[in-house]
Amino acid sequence: MKINNNIKRNIYNWKDEEGVFSKKPPLGYNMSYGIDISKHNGKIDFKKVNEAGFEFVFIRIAYRGYGQKGILKVDEMQEVNLKEAKDAGLKVGVYVFSQAINEDEAREEANIAIDILKNYKLDLPFVFDPETIKGDIARTDEVTGEQFTKNAIAFCEEVKKAGFIPAIYSNIVWEDYYYDLEKLKDYEIWYADYNKIPQTPYNFKYWQFSETGIVDGVSGEVDLNVMIY
């Protein structure tokens, strides 16, 4: 990975963690723990999640199919999840699973969620979440890094215009091969990496550190995150 020195660096000190970040936050920082969910996690007891020590949740609001039709749908559990997570005292952020191939589709993805959230106050960011599809053909397979960057900006600017905090879901591959991070400096990063210590040299605020977490109140495995502040 060629490091771009124009991008804000990750300055978290993990040396005192001995490779196990969960004992305490990086030196000089605080952490709170959270999960991210979609309809695939089923019915969730958010009160139990909170009692287990988790303080926030990112909820999928909508998603676009990765087939050629690219049908955009609302997550069937979003309404229940938004209400019950807030009622349980969790801080709430949201994300849209993107398969946009151009800026118009990215704006469409943002706006389907904005319409749902027009009377809702978020505590955490509103996230653009484009992902490659492993083991299958996806409509975004031929989308360039330049276009993905344009899509991210189009989405985030719609979110900002609506009064929410925009953010971008990322990982080491996207930061190296797809995103032009210099053009995305104004947006918070939700970084995914399942190594013991994050591999990215760049700054992030949220870290999805596991996709196989077990949490009281959630049936089956769930993604685990930390917020660093």
pLDDT at 19 (0 to 100)? 56
Instruction: Give per-residue pLDDT as tens, 77-102.
Output: 999 999 999 999 999 999 999 999 99
Sign of the CA dihedral running 139, 169, 96, 104: negative
pLDDT computed for residue 185 by the predictor: 95
- Higher local confidence (pLDDT), 2 or 73: 73
Could you give the CA distance from residue 117 to residue 115 in angstroms, rounded to a whole number? Answer: 6
* Closest listed residue to residue 93, CA positions, set 169, 183, 12, 171: 169
172 with 155: CB under 8 angstroms?
A: no
The Cα angle at residue 51 between residues 17 and 118, in degrees rounded to 5: 100
- Exposed, middle or buried, 144 (CB in 10 Å: 0-12/13-18/19+)? exposed
Structural domain boundaries in the chain:
31-228
Q: To 10 degrees, the CA torsion angle through 103, 106, 108, 110?
A: -130
Per-residue pLDDT of 133-185, as tens digits, reads 989 999 999 999 999 999 999 999 999 999 999 999 999 999 999 999 999 99
Question: pLDDT at residue 113 above 70?
Answer: yes
Q: What is the DSSP letter of 153?
A: H
Q: What is the pLDDT of residue 21?
A: 60
Query: Which residues contact residue 132 at a Cβ distance below 8 angstroms, ignoring those fewer than 6 apart?
Result: 138, 140, 141, 173
pLDDT, tens digit, for every residue of 16-41?
656 556 556 788 889 999 999 999 99
Kind of pairing between the strands at 54-64 and 72-74: antiparallel
- Residue 2 has what pLDDT? 86
Domain 31-228 fold: TIM Barrel (3.20.20)
Instruction: Identify the pLDDT of residue 204.
Output: 96
β partners of residue 188: 167
**Considering the chain, what percentage of its residues have pLDDT values greater than 70?**
96
DSSP secondary structure string, 160-198?
A: HHTT--EEEEE-HHIIIII--GGGGTTSEEEEE--SSS-
Mean pLDDT computed over 110-119? 96
Mean pLDDT of the chain: 94
| pLDDT tens readout for residues 54-78 | 999 999 999 999 999 999 999 999 9
List own/partner pairs for 170-178 with CB under 8 A and 24 or more apart.
Answer: 170/200, 170/204, 172/1, 172/199, 172/200, 173/132, 174/130, 174/148, 175/1, 175/200, 175/202, 176/1, 176/2, 177/145, 178/145, 178/148, 178/149
> Within its chain, how far is the Cα of 208 from the centroid?
8
